[in-house]
Structure 1
Amino acid sequence: MPSRRDFLKTSVLAAGALAAPRFAAAAAVPAKGALPALAGARVISTWDFGVPANQAAWTVLAAGGKALDAVEKGVQVPESDLGNHSVGKGGYPDRDGKVTLDASIMDGDGRCGAVACLERIAHPIRVARRVMEATPHVLLVGDGALQFAREQGFHEENLLTPEAEKAWHEWLKTARYKPVANSENLDYHRNLPGGPRNHDTIGMLAVDAHGHLAGACTTSGMAWKLHGRVGDSPIIGAGLYVDGEVGGATSTGVGEEVIRNAGSFLVVELMRQGRSPQEACEEAVRRIVKKRPDGAREMQVGFIALRRDGAVGAHAIQHGFTYAVCDARRPDGLYASPSVYATSFS
């Protein structure tokens, strides 16, 4: 009888041959050290709500704008959406009833900025960019991040919406904390292909018409988390990493597991070594599952990647992870990611 380790290995390998879109799989893997030629501007992001986010980013790219401006503009769409309960001003609070936001932004030249555990500012991605451009630092947190935002003139507001406050009071009746992979209880964007999906991090990567790369990642983190908990999203190298000579990667899901594996940095380094974006995402997920074979059945982690030539990849532990791609040929493409357990259990 095959062992559990054999089963996991077989599942991962089989999933890798599945549903990556043809335009991702068709791109040749460059030789080690070679720089692939630019195919044109493109943007990729996580989840169903990546579709409208990509379209906002595309208004910048289509006009010949910079990838950095595009990703900043794009992720502000879910940050503004009160129906999205894991990003921005509609986010669910921690167990103390406080909405705390995390975000990071990174340019292909290595510049980056981030904020974590930020309260009262609806667009943490804008504050993250100001950290990058106006300070010598990479990451500001908590009260210090809020103080900086105030000094930079950002508007403060109460981020705990009536809907989120009601959900928090319901949670307090049991105070049970257990993240659920691909939870469908948030009822978001049912009109989009694929139906309701997990409300999680929006991670976005873009390459512009000049061949420049950038990425952004923003979230309100896990609902009902301990106050002060920070996941992978604002951690450069974990939730987001971009190298202009190679490509970029970003993640979604249980942030602790991504941090433990320096996930997004790993994906980019694998691409540097010659693996395709798809192969790199698969290997990053494989390593997480290998370290946590039992826990992996209870959690979701997914990666998306964008190579400098526009080739993309995506992979996740569980089925149900979607990602969106936008370019001149496909303004609203939405795809289901291959996954380790896609055919193993529901």
Structure 2
Amino acid sequence: MLQRRRFLQLGSLGLSAFSLTGFRSAAAVRKPIVISTWDTGIAANQAAWNVLSKGGRALDAVEQGVMVTESSLNCCVGLGANPDRDGYVTLDASIMDEHANCGSVAYLERIKHPISVARRVMEKTPHVMLAGSGAQQFAVSEGFPLEPARLSDQAEKEYKKWLEKSEYKPVINIENTKSPTAFAPQKLSDGSWNHDTIGMVALDAAGNLSGSCTTSGMGFKMRGRIGDSPIIGAGLFVDNEVGAATATGQGEDVIRICGSHLVVELMRQGNSPEQACKKAVERIIKIKGSKAKDIQVGFIAINKQGEYGGYCIQKGFSFAVCYADDKNFMVQGKYIL
């Protein structure tokens, strides 16, 4: 009996060792790797890759990467972006590292790099999020200069165009209407989407994950509106045992399902990054019903093996992938509707 029991114990150990060894050898890890949302992700990925390719930390990569987009004068991200309905540009950002440390800022004005302020919140305060004038005060105390309170030429042009057809008149559920004042992402004539966020997640050579997300929020939003981007678990989530995910699109609906956290939990259950993103999108569609056709939400994710994927509600979402000096390319997101 003792010999039989010993045989079974050894057999069980052998099977476990074989299974673990076989799994690890079969699933070759691709690292480092960085992915980010939209076509602006190509330039952002390059900056992140400059860190990752030298053995740098994923946290540094995702900060440096999205700073490129924050610096660009465009109507989507950073101080050059479209303002709210009162004509002010307000910025949101979040960052998270492999130890579950995280920081974010919301409703921040006149600071060029909100992502860097979010990192300072993470590293130098006992808090996760600072907002509004308090976030600005903290940024200034940390040496971030106040930028001029004026719109970029492109944003001023867009704002004046919006004012021609719109009154400042709050309307209930206006984000679900087709009126010119709706601040949901709008489909453009070329079939693409007017977006306002860059999210980035990366796996470094040491096998550690980090992520970042930065945005100006929806153009011509109500004063004080905050979306999913600065909310850990909604616009961004990282679990170093599993994977990382970030979101873009109509933030209100990402918040409703704690979208990025959901994607990571779905990967924990064994889903691939693409499958996890698809299931999160399907959940939003189930909640929205027929109204889903009027919005866009997209998710991207990577896991600990360096596998990546993305999914969105409607055609038009794309994301950038970089995992080698000569591999920085766009992927058209798969979609449901």
- TM-score of the aligned structures, taking structure 1 as reference length: 0.83
Contact 1:49 1:78 in 2 (8 A): yes
Q: From 254, 265, 268, give the equivalent of 1:269.
A: 265
Greater CA deviation, 163-172 or 102-111?
A: 163-172
Q: Which residue of 1 aligns with 2:78?
A: 88
Q: Which residue of 2 aligns with 1:139?
A: 129
Is 1:118 the counterpart of 2:123? The answer is no
Question: Alignment partner of 2:79: what SS?
Answer: helix
Question: Alignment partner of 1:137: what SS?
Answer: coil
The alpha carbon displacement at 1:139 in A equals 0.3
Deviations 1:68-110 (A, max 9, x none): 000000001110110x211112111000000000000000210
Contact 1:184 1:198 in 2 (8 A): yes
Q: Which residue of 1 aligns with 2:88?
A: 98
Q: From 239, 242, 248, give the equivalent of 1:243.
A: 239
Contact 1:252 1:303 in 2 (8 A): yes
The alpha carbon displacement at 1:177 in A equals 1.8
Alignment partners' CA distance in 2, 1:219 and 1:235: 12
The alpha carbon displacement at 1:167 in A equals 1.6
Is 1:234 the counterpart of 2:238? The answer is no
Q: How does 1:146-295 map to 2 (within 5 A)?
A: 146-158=136-148, 160-175=151-166, 176-179=180-183, 181=185, 183-184=187-188, 198-295=194-291
Alpha carbons of 1:124 and 1:302: their partners in 2 closer, same or farther (altered >3 Å)?
same
Contact 1:89 1:122 in 2 (8 A): yes
The alpha carbon displacement at 1:329 in A equals 6.3
One-letter code aligned to 1:77: V
Is 1:66 the counterpart of 2:57? The answer is yes
Contact 1:118 1:124 in 2 (8 A): yes
Alignment partners' CA distance in 2, 1:145 and 1:298: 33
Alignment partners' CA distance in 2, 1:235 and 1:304: 16
Alpha carbons of 1:87 and 1:288: their partners in 2 closer, same or farther (altered >3 Å)?
same
Question: Alignment partner of 2:217: what SS?
Answer: coil
One-letter code aligned to 2:139: A
The alpha carbon displacement at 1:172 in A equals 1.1
Contact 1:103 1:233 in 2 (8 A): yes
Alignment partners' CA distance in 2, 1:317 and 1:167: 26
Please identify runs of 4+ aligned residues in structure 1 that moved more than 6 A.
none
Is 1:338 the counterpart of 2:334? The answer is yes
One-letter code aligned to 1:183: K
Q: Say which structure is richer in helix.
A: 2
Alignment partners' CA distance in 1, 2:252 and 2:128: 20
Alignment partners' CA distance in 1, 2:161 and 2:335: 33
Q: From 95, 109, 113, give the equivalent of 2:99.
A: 109
Q: How well do the aligned residues superpose, as a CA RMSD in angstroms?
A: 1.9
Contact 2:192 2:316 in 1 (8 A): no
Is 1:79 the counterpart of 2:70? The answer is yes
| Gapped regions of structure 2 (runs ≥ 5) | 1-18, 167-179
The alpha carbon displacement at 1:184 in A equals 3.1
One-letter code aligned to 1:56: A
The alpha carbon displacement at 1:198 in A equals 3.0
One-letter code aligned to 2:52: L
One-letter code aligned to 2:250: V
The alpha carbon displacement at 1:178 in A equals 1.7
Alignment partners' CA distance in 1, 2:233 and 2:151: 30
One-letter code aligned to 2:182: K
The alpha carbon displacement at 1:196 in A equals 6.1
Alignment partners' CA distance in 1, 2:326 and 2:239: 25
Is 1:43 the counterpart of 2:34? The answer is yes
Contact 2:184 2:250 in 1 (8 A): no
Question: Alignment partner of 1:218: what SS?
Answer: strand
Greater CA deviation, 300-309 or 329-338?
A: 329-338
| Gapped regions of structure 1 (runs ≥ 5) | 1-29, 188-194, 342-346
Contact 2:185 2:193 in 1 (8 A): no
Larger RCO, structures 1/2 (Cα 8 Å, 6+ apart) = 1
Contact 1:47 1:197 in 2 (8 A): no
The structure that has the greater radius of gyration is 2
The alpha carbon displacement at 1:276 in A equals 0.7
The alpha carbon displacement at 1:199 in A equals 3.0
Contact 2:195 2:249 in 1 (8 A): no
One-letter code aligned to 1:211: G
- TM-score of the aligned structures, taking structure 2 as reference length: 0.85
